[in-house]
Amino acid sequence: HATLFRSVLARRPHVSGGRLGGDHKVLPALCDKLWGEQILAGLGIEESTLDWVPLHHARFLDDAGRVAEGNSRQPFAWLVRRGPEEGTLDFAMARRARELGVRVHTGQPLAPDRADVVATGLRRVDGLAVEEMFRTAAGNRVDVILDEDLAPGGYGYLFIHEGEATLGIAALGSYRDLGRRLDVARERFEALGEFDQQNTRSAAHGMNFCLPGTALEDGRPCVGEAAGFQDFLFGLGLRMAVVSGQLSARALAEDLDYDGLWRGALQERMHTSLVDRWLYERGAVRRWLMWRMATRDLQELLNDLQRHHWSKQLLLPWIRRFRSCDCEPPSTKAKEARG
């Protein structure tokens, strides 16, 4: 899986968002302190410059073939496109940076000693997703498969919006036959409603989660998955990547404690998501969602699922003891070993 992931990265052009191919990503609008549109407002990005859409409806399929439909009054998430093209989040962020006077250099690597912020991505692979992006004449839809046999520790997904589709399968810990599993997921989604595929392109993405004692490497802030910032329940790290980038800029510009900033904004959700992940892998989350979805607002249901609660706080030390999630930046480990 690591060889596959490296080969995909190597084919991407050296531009902002270049390692992504226009595929859809989910920016959750749930129990976090900042939601999708609030994050963009804080960056000064105009919504009109983005190809993004609020999500109010989704269908969930379980391992027994049952289908549950969820609806919400407020968006439970926003669907955004990633990549180097106009309309993607990466393009909008790069343009906003230039408007503020930032010089964005692409096409050649930056020497590590010249970097103020470490944003190098994955330090290890805790989860892997394989995807196909394509054009389709099918209508808009959001479908998710929750099936431990098909996607161990993960899920299958199909997003279609205005003729652009992303079909994928994500797994944690077991990455064998992901291509075949993606074909099975496609068949199950087609049983809910057929869709055609035109101009299909493929991609693979890794996921990294850890609970750092510090997110500083040689005094420099680490952001996104370079620090292990991830929501471990469903592997949605986009919000934490953007927020940690904002916090690193504040720390540098205002001479603030970066570790204190990210702990205040992200650590509680990361701790809770570790407990949520433990419950998910035992089937509790899937059964609870399928049972309650017909009678609850989907956003409120997902909020309740991910909410920080005293019972989760009690479980956290026990889960951390038996699941190795603690980490430090590599340079810090190396210094301690030499010391």
Confidence of residue 4 (pLDDT cuts 50, 70, 90): very low
| pLDDT value of residue 208 | 84
pLDDT at 224 > cutoff 50: yes
| pLDDT value of residue 41 | 80
The per-residue pLDDT of the chain, averaged, comes to 84
Across 30-38, average pLDDT = 65
Confidence of residue 3 (pLDDT cuts 50, 70, 90): very low
pLDDT at 260 > cutoff 70: yes
Check: CB of residue 26 under 8 Å from CB of residue 36: no
Q: Name the residue with higher pLDDT: 10 or 182.
A: 182
Return the structure tokens found at 73.
Answer: 């009054």
Q: Where are the beta strands (DSSP E) in 39-82?
A: 52-55, 57-62, 67-71, 77-81
| pLDDT value of residue 48 | 81
The per-residue b/e assignment along 7-31, b for 16 or more CB within 10 angstroms, e otherwise, is ebbeeeeebbbbbbbbbbbbbbbbb
* Polymer length in residues for the chain: 339
- What's the CA gap between 212 and 63, in Å, rounded? 35
Confidence of residue 114 (pLDDT cuts 50, 70, 90): confident
Q: Which of 18-32, 80-94, 203-217 is least confident? A: 18-32
pLDDT at 238 > cutoff 90: no
